[in-house]
Amino acid sequence: MKSLGARLALLLLMAIVLVVITSSFAASLVLRGPRPETTMEPVAQQLRLIAEFAEADRSMAVARGVVLASEPAGGPQDDMFSGFLAEALRRIGAPRQVSVSHGPGPGDMATASIRLADGSWMLTPLPQFGPPPGGWKILVGWLFLIVAGSTLVSVFAASKIIRPLRLIEDALARIQPDGTLPAVAETGPSEVKATAQALNRLSARVKAATESRMRLVAAAGHDLRTPMTRLRLRAEFIGEEHERLKWLSDLEELHKIADSAIGLVREEINRDPLERIRLDQVVGGIVQELAAMGLDIRLNVAEDTTICAAPLALTRALRNLLINAATHGVSAVADVVHDEGTGTLRIVDTGPGIPEERLDQVFEPFFRIDAGRQKSFPGAGLGLAIAKEILLRFEGRIEVRNRPIKGLEQIVTFHLAPPLATDA
């Protein structure tokens, strides 16, 4: 039972039931009838008078309804009750031989048999001092009503208590790609209103920060293009060929960094519609494209795997991953397989890998292993960061780890697309 609402409901239920049961027990102690030994003397007084009347005028007593018999009443004997009645008769000064018995059925009325002076027995019904017949059924019904009512009250109270928490949970579930969420209704109790207001203020601040960053990056990229264009024109007039090519290469890298930075921000807020896509076909097309460019990469296993994603964004993300493996990893092999509910792209390369202590930084923007690799493999260092942003938008997961022998392994996992109605 990990749910906070369920725990609160159970706690309230236990508290209510415990209080009611304790109160019922206390009430039963206070309101229960007197014990037989404390009420037996009045009964003994009545029985003595009836017995003396029967001994004085037997025929009149029988006419008045007194039952006389030659034997005591049959049925199971109640020795404790018999002792109480005999002791009461002795205390009032009329000791007699007494026998108390019950009828053959459970809950039948008790009968007192009192021996008269002539040896006959007077049979008289006694009042019932114990609980009424079927009292346990009443108790069970009472407890059932307590538990049922307490459960309803506890669940309702728990749902009210954790409503602000559910408000936060629902709001987090609706977070949009740009980090904002739809406006939360500021209604209800004061605590709920305060929670909704805080969420709305947080969403507004996040949205403002995201838009400000987007404007800043876009403006920086736009402003950089103008001086880079002038520098490129000036570089064309450099007489020495080697020096001119170095200038043009550096300017091209600056251009890629500016475009990649803008692309990263755009991917975070992109909302392209999702489509059913064959993951194996997309990977196969990218592998053919990269192989035609002279990169050492091939597709080993390609099982039919259909997922839901935006085609252009998915292609951009997977191309970044495959290029990273084929360039930094020297050579790469890709496999596309599917299992129960998931499709997996596995990319392995034969490169040097990444130091274990830096694996958790691989998706950070502008990540580089060392300064030497920055020169050997030009680029902005944003390819993996952009790929992760895209994959997360399609509820995909990516894991990067070193292989036991040599190289790096990238594992991308997607949820399979639900079957179409025509496939059922």
* CATH code, domain with 252: 1.10.287.130
Residues 152 and 184 in one domain: no
Question: Is residue 23 pLDDT above 80, yes or no?
Answer: no
Which pLDDT score, from 0 to 100, does residue 340 have?
A: 84
Is the model's pLDDT at 100 over the cut of 80? yes
What is the rounded (10 degree) CA torsion for 349, 268, 260, 415? Answer: 20
- For 35-92, write each residue's pLDDT tens digit: 655 677 888 888 889 988 888 888 888 888 888 998 888 888 888 888 888 888 888 8
Instruction: Give yes or no for a contact between 346 and 420, defined as CB atoms under 8 angstroms apart.
Output: no
Q: What percent of the chain has pLDDT over 70?
A: 76
User: Which of 217, 244, 271 represents a domain boundary (last residue)?
Assistant: 271
Per-residue pLDDT, averaged over 117-135, amounts to 75
Looking at the structure, do residues 16 and 70 belong to the same domain, yes or no? no
Verify that 383 and 295 share a domain, yes or no: yes
- The tally of domains found in the chain comes to 4
Q: What pTM, to 2 d.p., does this model score?
A: 0.48
Of the three residues 271, 294, 315, the one that is the final residue of a domain is 271
CA-nearest of 196, 194, 201, 208 to 171 is 196
Residue 153: give the domain boundaries.
4-32+134-161
Q: Are residues 387 and 300 in the same domain?
A: yes
Pick 49 or 219 by higher pLDDT. 49
Share of the chain above pLDDT 90, in %: 15
326-361 pLDDT tens trace:
888 788 999 999 988 899 999 999 888 888 888 888
- Residue range 259-310, pLDDT digits in tens: 666 665 665 555 667 889 999 999 999 999 999 999 999 999 999 999 999 8
Question: Residues 262, 245: one domain?
Answer: yes
**What is the structure's pLDDT at 373?**
43
pLDDT at residue 106, as a whole number: 46
Residues 6+ apart with CB under 8 A from 275: 308, 309, 310, 311
**Region 169-174 average pLDDT:** 72
Q: What pLDDT digit, counting tens, does each position of 176-188 carry? A: 655 667 777 777 6
The tokens for 377 are 């493999």
What is the enclosing helix (H) or strand (E) of 15? Answer: helix 4-31
Is residue 317 pLDDT above 90, yes or no? no
Q: Torsions phi, psi of 420, nearest 5?
A: -70, 160
